[in-house]
Amino acid sequence: MNTSGTKKNISDKGRVFVGLSGGVDSAVSAALLKEQGYDVTGVFIKAWQPDWMVCTWREERRDAMRVALALDIPFLFLDMEKEYKQGVVDKMIAEYKANRTPNPDVLCNREIKFGSFWNKAKELGADFIATGHYAKVFSKQHSLALYESKDKEKDQSYFLWTLTQEDLEHTLFPVGGLEKKDVRELAKKFKLPVAEKKDSQGICFLGDVSMEDFLSHYIDIKPGKVVNTDGQVIGTHKGLPFYTIGERHGFEVTKKSADSSPFYIVAKDVKTNALVVSNDIAEIKDLSPQKVVLKNVNWIHEPLVPELTARIRYHGGKLPCKLSLEGKKLAVEFTNPVRGLALGQSIVFYSDEECLGGAVMDRLY
């Protein structure tokens, strides 16, 4: 069975630096690569955490070191606090201040895991880097292509749209061709000390702290009113940056509807600091945009036709759409109005299971 999740030629083994997060996926990735004959080095990357937050990285580093010891592979510790703060956290905070909703995981992949980490690994003599991401890389027409993982529930191709052909040439995803349950079984087979460890949830540097609590330390948050589309005040909110278009949680509605149907966020009025909501399905559909202008476009494989499918959120369904130009900007028009198009979020394009690339949603049209 090919468990590497890749059809790249691996007959000529090389030196690979595996990002060991302290979790089971990266641990099994390292074990598989060693079994396949690679010269494997385990690497723990220290991300940034603020002084006021309970430290979590030392525990994760300990688990990563235990994995390296169990596999009898060299272990490196890379302090990338500065790179993480500047490349991920500062950019994330700036987007929230602008009332946009960024994807920190996408930023982390672009700036750290496949940016600073690879640069350091290459400097230290690595031929490849590997991570525990659930995705696959295949050869296709004299180039490389990124595909969804075998395990569709765990697939992380949505967060990998910023990768380039050059990135794919030196990147390995050893668990991409496996189901999560098989990864767990392999962890037991390899007698890895993290075999029973629970999967981490959320953004790595936050630990158990909510995004709301974190942002409140860096953004001037002003509570405000929740209004319906007629402008009537029906509740309160904690601060506009905490909310994303399409959500239905986190704000308080004091004037309930007759049928108690849920209210969804349809707009943010920055001038009045009001959150605009609706519980009328027909109205929500009418207010939902069908076209969005994009920025930071990246193609792993540029599409041959404008008709594609796209995801606008992790684990979201694939929506039929068509690419077009609005002036010099690339835009995408959906077949039907789409609820929950959030500016700052990633839109990722697919052709069947192939991830062609993506962009950031910049302006509703």
Q: Is the pLDDT of residue 5 over 50?
A: no
Position 209 scores a pLDDT of 82
Q: What are the angstrom distances between the C-alpha of 66 and each of 31, 32, 44, 173?
A: 13, 16, 11, 21
Position 12 scores a pLDDT of 62
pLDDT in tens, 189-199: 999 999 999 88
pLDDT in tens, 247-265: 988 899 887 766 678 999 9
Angle between helix 57-71 and helix 24-35 axes, rounded to 10 deg: 20
Q: Is the pLDDT of residue 185 over 50?
A: yes
Least confident of 13-17, 204-208, 275-279: 204-208
Local confidence band at 11 (pLDDT 50, 70, 90 cut-offs): very low
State the pairing for strand pair 291-299/354-364.
Answer: antiparallel
Position 254 scores a pLDDT of 87
Radius of gyration of the chain (CA): 22
Give the domains, in start order, of the chain with CATH numbers. Answer: 15-204 (3.40.50.620), 220-286 (2.30.30.280), 290-364 (2.40.30.10)
State the pairing for strand pair 224-228/274-278.
Answer: parallel
What is the maximum alpha-carbon separation in the chain? 68
Query: 323, 365, 325, 311: which is closest to 103 by C-alpha?
Result: 311
pLDDT in tens, 300-313: 999 989 899 999 99
Least confident of 128-132, 180-184, 340-344: 340-344
Active site residue 204: yes
What 3-state DSSP class applies to 137? strand
Mean pLDDT score of the chain, rounded to an integer? 92
**8 burial level (CB within 10 Å; 0-12, 13-18, 19+):** middle
For 125, phi and psi rounded to 5 degrees? 100, 10
Q: Is the pLDDT of residue 7 over 70?
A: no
Instruction: Please tell me the distance from the alpha carbon of residue 330 to that of residue 102, in angstroms, as a whole number.
Output: 19
pLDDT in tens, 285-337: 888 899 999 999 999 999 989 899 999 999 999 999 999 998 899 999 999 99
pLDDT in tens, 63-74: 999 999 999 999
Position 8 scores a pLDDT of 43
Active site residue 355: no
Which of 55, 204, 321, 355 is an active site residue? 204
Position 199 scores a pLDDT of 86
Position 276 scores a pLDDT of 95
Q: What are the angstrom distances between the C-alpha of 361 and each of 41, 218, 242, 262, 347?
A: 38, 24, 18, 26, 6
Which amino acid is present at 212? E
Query: 361, 349, 360, 317: which is closest to 336 by C-alpha?
Result: 317
pTM beyond 0.75: yes
